[in-house]
Each structure stands twice: as C-alpha cells, then as structure tokens.
Chains A and B, each alone.
Chain A
Amino acid sequence: MVDRENSGLSELRRGVLVLAVLSRLRTPQYGYSLRQALAEGGMPIEEGTLYPLLRRLESQGLLSSEWNTEQTPRRYYRLNAEGERTLAALTEAWRDQVRVMDGLLDGRRR
C-alpha cells in the first residue's frame, strides 16, 4: 500500500518537475544550488534526475547557461525569453489543472 502511494506520488511529482525547475530559474542557479532551492521549497529532486533535466531544457531552448570560473568553476542556468513564455503558459495550465482536480475530488466527496 505504501509502495503504491509512493509510486503514485513519484508519478505526480514527475509531471510537475519541469514547472518546478523553471519556476526557480528566474535568477541564475548552478545545479547544486538549484537542487537546494527546490528542496527548501518542498520539492526534493534526485541529483541524477535534475542535472540531465537542465541540459534537456537548455537543448529545448528554454534555458541559457554560462560557465562562471571566478571561484569554483560552475555552470549557471537561467530562463531565457522562450523559457519565460513557457513558464507563464505552464503556470496557467497548472492552475487550470488544480481547479479541474479540485472539482473532481470535491465531486467524489459529495
């Protein structure tokens, strides 16, 4: 039962992963700092999932990145214009989904 709940929760979180990541990249972040920011916001993500996801979002044209070599060399990611547009669209879609799901769940209770 617990396994099933965990598996269901993982599925739910996987669906909103991209939105969560985009929401934290209005300011530049490197991999580990982003992971920390997400964990502090209540969305812990495994490192092996998050770092490749950043590269995928960049290759999809939603993020820009640059190396900062002033101290420890790190790659910083941030939203570009296309990423901003996508974040806005996904945020709207998410809020619609929340309304829809609330309606469904409330209907079940009745």
Chain B
Amino acid sequence: MNAHEVIDAYVRDVARCLPRSRREDVALELRSLLADELAAKTRAVGATADPGTVMALLRSFGRPAEVAARYHQRPALIEPAYSHHFMIWSMAGAITASVLAALDPTKAIDRGEFFLKWLGMLVVAFALFGWWRRHNPTALPWKPRHGPERMPRWTAGLAFAATLALPVFMYAAPMTFTHTASFGRLPVAGLELTEAFRTGWLRATTLALFALLALMYATILVQGQRRAWIGWMSAALHGALGLLMVAHTLPAAGPAARVFASAEADAVAAPIFRAVGALLILGALYDVYREWMRITPAPR
C-alpha cells in the first residue's frame, strides 16, 4: 500500500461509522485534510510521503471509530449515567438465576440461559428507556424518597398483624387456619400434620423465627423507624426462614421434613415451600443490599 492508499483505507473506515447521508461528504473532506497534513509533515522533514509517515499521522488522528464519533455522536445503547443501574440489575438477575436454579429439584432452570435472557431484556429495556429520555428530557423529574430507615407505624403495624395472621397462624395450625379462612367450606382433613413434624425441630425452629419476625415488626411499630440493626436482623431472619422453608422439602432433613400425613398434600405443598423459600432468600439478599447501600447524609 502506498501512502495515499493508506489514507483512503482510513477514510473509508471512518466514513463507514457515519450515517449514510454524511459518508461521502465527510470522506471527501477528511481525505483532503489528511492530504494537507501529510504534505505539511513531509515538507517539514524534507522527505517523500511513505506509509510509515502516514501511519504516524493517522495514529495521532485517532482510531477511525473514535474519529467518526467526533463527527457524529451516536447515542449509547445504555446511557453512561445509567450503567451503574444496569450493573446492579444484571447482578440481581445473576443472583436470582442462581437461587432459582439451586432450588429447582427438576433442574429445568438453566442458570446461564436464564441470565442471558435477563441480560437481553435489560439491554432492550435500558435502550428503550434511554431513547424515551432523549425524546422527553423533562419527563419523570426526580422526586425525593425516604431512606431505608423510614417505615411508617401503620406499615409496621400491618406487617406485624399480617405476620401473626398468615405465617404464624397458618404454619402453627394449618387445619384451623384453613377452616377459619374458608368459613368451613374447604375440607381440611388432608392438612393433618405428621407426628414427627409436629413435634420435630424443624417446626419449632420455624415457628420461633416467625415469632421473632413478628417481634421485629412490633419493635419497628414502637420505635417508629427501621434502624440499621433491624435491617440486618430482617436479612438474617428472612434468610434463615428461606433455608428452613427449603428444608421442608428435603428428604435429608429426616422424618421431621415430612409435613403432612397425606402424601398428596405433601406433594402439593413441596413446590409451594420451595417457592416461598426462594422468595424469602431473595428478600434477605435485598435486605443485605439495602443495608450495604445505606447512606446517612445527615450527621448522627
């Protein structure tokens, strides 16, 4: 390649990165400018133009894609300002995929495939959001939000009541709970617990942790805020309860893990225990994230 062929190759590579309507025009001008620069350089050193001199000139000009970006800035698929959010959502997807795949006894969930689909959806969602933001720059202005310490008393009260009514009552006495909740319309005989489960460590531990969870909400109700230690306690309780829920479906946990006397009821309950376990574990990880990200701008 002689010097002019090298310039032509460079100009082509720059122009390829530009919108079709501007390629010819920019290519023509860029070629003329580079020829001027080259002529000045060779005049200065009293030499003829050779490929080495041209390459040195082009290196100082920059890589073709970067030069093209100076002529025409294309919007980023994921706006740099939102790349942090993209990373966080990507990691959340990776963790969710790992938890779901680990808890899926049928191994139908492929962690890699789940994650790649998630990444694809995120890229599309962020690209669409960026496009929308560029066309509506004043839409969705920032609004102040409370930090993680904020939990209104009414929410804490509701959480306390709901924890007592649902997990505690339902778990402690499933037959009574179902009879009460269905106003006696649903048959409850199949919900009889096995003796091993009723008196076993798994049920006692789970009930104790549910009670602690209710106590935690009662503490928030009294204090009127969700302090950092409560956030960590919430993460620990949800994580432990999630693991215990999963243990309800594991034969390795022994006879205490056989919940219902009826095998059919056990078969129906197992995926529910696993799903609830997965949700609790993901909730615990979210609690950890919230506490890890907790920022207190005002002096304590």
Contacts and interface: CB of A to CB of B under 8 A. Distances in A.
Contacts of A46: 60
Contacts of B104: none
A73 B70 contact: no
8 contacts: A46-B60, A47-B60, A51-B29, A72-B32, A73-B28, A73-B32, A75-B29, A75-B32
Interface in B27-82: 28-30, 32-33, 35-37, 40, 60-62, 67, 70-71
Contact of A48 (B28, B35, B36, B60): B60
Given A48-B60, A53-B70, 12 more contacts: A30-B33, A32-B33, A32-B36, A32-B40, A47-B33, A47-B37, A51-B29, A52-B67, A52-B70, A55-B26, A72-B35, A73-B32
A31 B71 CA distance: 14
A28 to B, nearest CB: 15
A51 B35 contact: no
Contacts of A74: 32, 36
Contacts of A32: 33, 36-37, 40
Interface of B: 26, 28-30, 32-33, 35-37, 40, 60-62, 67, 70-71
B interface: dominant SS: helix
A87 B292 CA distance: 51
A1 to B, nearest CB: 25
Contacts of A30: 32-33, 36
Given A47-B60, A47-B61, A55-B26, A31 B36 contact: yes
Nearest to A74: B32
A75 B24 CA distance: 13
A27 interface: no
A49 interface: yes
Which of B28, B29, B62, B71 has the most C-beta atoms of chain A within 10 angstroms of its own C-beta?
B29
Contacts of B26: 55
B33 A48 contact: no
B40 to A, nearest CB: 7
B67 A48 contact: yes
Q: What 8 pairs between A and B have smallest CB-CB spacing?
A: A52-B70, A32-B36, A31-B33, A48-B61, A48-B62, A52-B71, A75-B29, A51-B33
B71 A55 contact: yes
Interface string A69-94: 00011110000000000000000000
Given A48-B67, A72-B35, A31 B29 contact: yes
